[in-house]
């Protein structure tokens, strides 16, 4: 072949485009194998004899239901597109129904779409969209979300006045110089316009400053505040005592500077015409700062207290707690305590009478046992001793630091202290491992139970329970904690939801599912599970305590 022919052949080959070939859909095998490798790297097998487990499947997405079919129209024209109309158009004939329909939407993305329909829908959707705002560190793009949120709010004061609940648990501490200064200015300006704010959570350590707390203290409707207790060089804790409407105060990880001002803050709030605090919570990881002396000093100024939470305060005993309960015994409705071995709080039989107590939460720590003991069973003597609480509706017991088996006989003895089991609507036994017989006993005794959070050794505990069918039909929330290799998977949880017709939420570990029920074309009832898509935090993460 001569040189000219070779040049012509080269030109023809260069003219061939790959785009002309038929395209094949990629198999995405690289992502599948990557997910498997990542899962195996995060879950190494410690023993060669252990079975191999499949990597978890991606979470099931929430079901998207199609719109109803169009209806025939009375239109007589030639335009065929106008011969059918959506049944949703009937809403515009009854405008009073629109607010009732929009109340069923809670996802921000849905509310943002709804607001584009009309001015009236925009007014209703905006009011709900900005009523409760949050920025949480475990969500994707939290930095981007916080910056955009306060950029929008400080430019639109009318939106700030719609905010009633603000939950900020993340703040970009890495921001420096002009970026940080600009963000602080936007936050302060927006906060100053939130005249209708009723509840504020701002727990990010080192994110507060004196000017911001001054703006917060000046809000006339702020009734609930949860704040970081790291105050030294960041804010003056005395400003908390100047808040005109504050009723609930929760302090996360207080430092010595805040401790020194705590007594004066409580006294200043008590001196208001409206009276002192209705709720006080002090949450530490493990700190000796808060002790009985402080509790005894502030007790006379807490005579209207309804909610008391003391977690991680290692120097607190029943002497300080009982002094507060003596002052507010007739008002207390919610009591949440760390019952450390030396605190004496495992024995509440001698505590003041609490006729209005509705929620009792105890975090128990069992003393260290001899390493030679192999018994992992709780005895009745290691369970709390209670008095009669005639109004008790929710009971939460958490075993910190370990998991022990709770036999039926031990729970029955503890149960005898609950004089009105028919009133219990919520029960959680976290790290107290129970068997099927104990589960059936609970469902049989607590006839009004709506929420149940338990720990088990195996999924057979719930799958083999016949009592769940007979006595568990009123349950709305069931959360089962178990070792991953023996715990229930999504198919097991769906089977449980099929057997319990009232179940609306079910979960295991950190997995939470919504239960959806519908009729198939054949008229059969179908139950499906979808991953949690609501804007509020599931019940399990509100009762869990390490």
What pLDDT, on the 0 to 100 scale, is given for residue 21? 43
pLDDT band at 19 (very low <50, low <70, confident <90, very high): very low
For residues 376 and 287, what is the distance between their CA atoms, to the nearest angstrom? 29
What pLDDT, on the 0 to 100 scale, is given for residue 48? 41
- What is the tally of structural domains in the chain? 2
Measured CA angle at 222 (ends 218, 228), to 5 deg:
85
pLDDT band at 362 (very low <50, low <70, confident <90, very high): very high
Give domain status of residue 506, yes or no.
no
Instruction: Indicate if 102 and 160 belong to the same structural domain.
Output: no
Instruction: Indicate if 145 and 176 belong to the same structural domain.
Output: yes
What pLDDT, on the 0 to 100 scale, is given for residue 373? 56
Instruction: Indicate if 137 and 108 belong to the same structural domain.
Output: no
What pLDDT, on the 0 to 100 scale, is given for residue 543? 75
β-pairing, 248-252 vs 224-228, is: parallel
Q: Is the pLDDT of residue 367 over 90?
A: no
Give domain status of residue 306, yes or no.
no
Give domain status of residue 421, yes or no.
no
For residues 396 and 472, what is the distance between their CA atoms, to the nearest angstrom? 19
Distant-in-sequence, close-in-space partners of 496: CB < 8 Å, separation ≥ 6: 462, 463, 468, 478, 488, 503, 506
Which range has highest mean pLDDT (57-61, 247-251, 518-522)? 247-251
What pLDDT, on the 0 to 100 scale, is given for residue 411? 96
Give domain status of residue 408, yes or no.
no
pLDDT band at 131 (very low <50, low <70, confident <90, very high): very high
Instruction: Indicate if 224 and 111 belong to the same structural domain.
Output: no
| % of the chain exceeding 90 in pLDDT | 61
Listed residues 233, 257, 277: the one ending a domain: 277
Q: Is the pLDDT of residue 410 over 80?
A: yes
Sign of CA dihedral 158, 161, 163, 169: positive
What pLDDT, on the 0 to 100 scale, is given for residue 428? 95
Per-residue model confidence as pLDDT tens digits over 499-512: 998 999 999 988 99
**What CATH number has the domain bearing residue 144?**
3.80.10
Using CA atoms, how far residue 40 sits from 266, 358, 484, 496, in Å, is 53, 45, 14, 29
What pLDDT, on the 0 to 100 scale, is given for residue 33? 59
Least confident of 161-175, 223-237, 516-530: 516-530
Per-residue model confidence as pLDDT tens digits over 448-498: 999 999 999 999 999 988 877 778 888 999 999 998 888 999 999 999 999
For residues 427 and 475, what is the distance between their CA atoms, to the nearest angstrom? 11
Q: Is the pLDDT of residue 13 over 60?
A: no
Instruction: Indicate if 246 and 188 belong to the same structural domain.
Output: yes
Per-residue model confidence as pLDDT tens digits over 282-324: 999 889 999 999 999 999 999 999 999 999 999 999 999 999 9
What pLDDT, on the 0 to 100 scale, is given for residue 522? 77
Higher-pLDDT residue of 398, 545? 398
Q: Is the pLDDT of residue 2 over 60?
A: no
What pLDDT, on the 0 to 100 scale, is given for residue 295? 97
Instruction: Indicate if 154 and 269 belong to the same structural domain.
Output: yes
Instruction: Indicate if 112 and 148 belong to the same structural domain.
Output: no
Instruction: Indicate if 125 and 232 belong to the same structural domain.
Output: no
Per-residue model confidence as pLDDT tens digits over 180-212: 999 999 999 999 999 999 999 999 999 999 999
Q: Give me the mean pLDDT over the 503-529 stretch.
A: 88
Instruction: Indicate if 139 and 234 belong to the same structural domain.
Output: yes
Closest to 450 (Cα-Cα) out of 516, 539, 370? 539
pLDDT band at 22 (very low <50, low <70, confident <90, very high): very low
Instruction: Indicate if 223 and 176 belong to the same structural domain.
Output: yes
Residues of the domain holding 209? 131-277
Question: Phi/psi at 177 (nearest 5 deg)?
Answer: 55, -125
Listed residues 129, 148, 175: the one ending a domain: 129
Q: Which residue has the tokens 């305060």?
A: 313
For residues 321 and 293, what is the distance between their CA atoms, to the nearest angstrom? 10
Listed residues 277, 300, 317: the one ending a domain: 277
Averaged pLDDT score across all residues of the chain: 85
Q: Is the pLDDT of residue 39 over 90?
A: no
């Amino acid at each position: 072949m001569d040189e000219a022919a070779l040049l012509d052949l080269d030109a023809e080959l260069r003219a061939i485009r790959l785009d002309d070939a038929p395209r094949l859909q990629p198999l995405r095998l690289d992502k599948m194998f990557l997910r498997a490798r990542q899962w195996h790297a995060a879950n190494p097998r410690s023993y060669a004899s252990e079975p191999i487990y499949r990597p978890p499947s991606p979470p099931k997405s929430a079901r998207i239901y199609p719109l109803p079919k169009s209806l025939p129209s009375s239109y007589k024209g030639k335009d065929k597109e106008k011969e059918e109309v959506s049944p949703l158009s009937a809403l515009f004939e009854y405008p009073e129904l629109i607010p009732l329909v929009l109340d069923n939407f809670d996802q921000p993305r849905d509310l943002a779409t709804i607001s584009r329909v009309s001015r009236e829908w925009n007014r209703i959707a905006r009011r709900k969209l900005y009523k409760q705002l949050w920025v949480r560190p475990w969500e994707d793009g939290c930095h981007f979300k916080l910056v955009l949120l306060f950029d929008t709010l400080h430019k639109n004061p009318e939106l700030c006045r719609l905010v009633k609940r603000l939950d900020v648990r993340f703040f970009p501490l890495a921001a420096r110089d002009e970026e940080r200064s600009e963000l602080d200015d936007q936050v302060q300006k927006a906060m100053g316009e939130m005249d209708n704010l009723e509840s504020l959570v701002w727990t990010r350590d080192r994110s507060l400053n004196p000017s911001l707390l001054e703006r917060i203290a000046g809000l006339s409707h702020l009734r609930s505040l949860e704040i970081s207790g790291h105050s030294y060089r960041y804010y003056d804790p005395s400003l908390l005592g100047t808040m005109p409407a504050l009723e609930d105060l929760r302090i996360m990880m207080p430092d010595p500077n805040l401790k020194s001002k705590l007594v004066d803050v409580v006294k200043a709030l008590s001196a208001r015409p409206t009276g002192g605090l209705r709720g006080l919570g002090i949450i530490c990881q493990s700190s000796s700062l808060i002790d009985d002396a402080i509790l005894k000093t502030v007790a006379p100024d807490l005579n209207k207290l309804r909610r008391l939470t003391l977690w991680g305060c290692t120097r607190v005993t029943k002497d300080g707690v009982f002094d507060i309960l003596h002052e507010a015994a007739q008002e207390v409705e919610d009591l949440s305590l760390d019952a450390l071995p030396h605190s004496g709080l495992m024995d509440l039989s001698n505590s003041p009478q609490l006729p209005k107590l509705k929620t009792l939460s105890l975090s128990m720590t069992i003393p260290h046992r001899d390493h030679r003991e192999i018994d992992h069973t709780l005895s009745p003597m290691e369970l709390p001793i209670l008095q009669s609480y005639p109004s008790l509706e929710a009971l939460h017991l958490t075993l910190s630091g370990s998991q022990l088996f709770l036999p039926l006989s031990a729970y029955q003895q503890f149960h005898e202290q609950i004089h009105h089991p028919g009133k219990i609507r919520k029960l959680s036994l976290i790290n107290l491992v129970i068997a099927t017989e104990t589960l059936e006993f609970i469902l049989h005794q607590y006839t009004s139970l709506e929420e149940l959070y338990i720990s088990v050794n195996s999924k057979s505990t719930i799958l083999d329970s016949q009592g769940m069918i007979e006595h568990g039909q009123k349950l709305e929330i069931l959360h089962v904690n178990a070792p991953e290799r023996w715990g229930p998977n999504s198919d097991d949880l769906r089977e449980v939801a099929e057997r319990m017709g009232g179940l609306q939420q079910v979960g295991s570990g950190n997995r939470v599912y919504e239960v959806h029920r519908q009729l198939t074309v054949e008229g059969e009832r179908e139950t499906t599970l979808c991953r949690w898509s609501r804007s509020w935090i599931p019940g399990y993460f509100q009762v869990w305590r390490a």
